[in-house]
Amino acid sequence: MENPFVISYRELRVYQAAFESAMQVFERSREFPIAEQEHLTPMLIRASRLVCVNIAQAWQKRRNQQAFIARLNHAETEAAATQVWIEFAVLCGYLEAEIGQELHHEYQQVLADLARLIEHAAAWVVNAES
């Protein structure tokens, strides 16, 4: 588990990994065909960014364990959605298989880190409600 004296969500390893992965997704998506600018590309970018957004929102909801966990669950669903969009990008020939596997693995690690945060949610909640 991470240092309990984390002050900002930006210090969380899971946030840093998700942010870095989202930036990699963005950079790779710039090479996608123009025809996908209204379809696959925005969905992939949106899902990858929403992982980070949901982690940040969860951090702000730490006064309520259920709300904290719920927002982390949203982050998990967006990470899984990102993996699906990555798979589509590979199968459509927009991403090389090796790059797709690397990105998929990075999001698998994000999912594992989120699961650990959820499992130990009580340690992260401040002024926990009874």
In a domain, 70, yes or no: yes
Q: What is the CATH number of the domain that holds 58?
A: 1.20.1440.60
In a domain, 3, yes or no: no
Instruction: Report which residue type is found at 58.
Output: A
In a domain, 1, yes or no: no
The phi, psi pair for 32, rounded to 5°, reads -70, 155
Give pLDDT, residue 6. Answer: 87
In a domain, 2, yes or no: no
- Number of Cβ atoms within 10 Å of the Cβ of 66: 11
93 backbone φψ class: left, alpha, beta (φ>0; ψ -120 to 50): left
Give pLDDT, residue 128. Answer: 53
Q: Are 61 and 35 in contact (CB under 8 A)?
A: no
Residue-wise over 85-106: b if at least 16 C-beta within 10 A, else e? bbebbbeeebbeeeebeebeeb
In a domain, 118, yes or no: yes
The phi, psi pair for 127, rounded to 5°, reads 50, 50
Q: Which domain holds residue 65?
A: 10-124
Q: What is the DSSP letter of 127?
A: S
- How many structural domains comprise the chain? 1
In a domain, 86, yes or no: yes
In a domain, 16, yes or no: yes
Series of mean pLDDT values for 10-residue runs along the chain (130 residues): 75 98 98 94 98 98 97 99 98 98 99 98 79
In a domain, 91, yes or no: yes
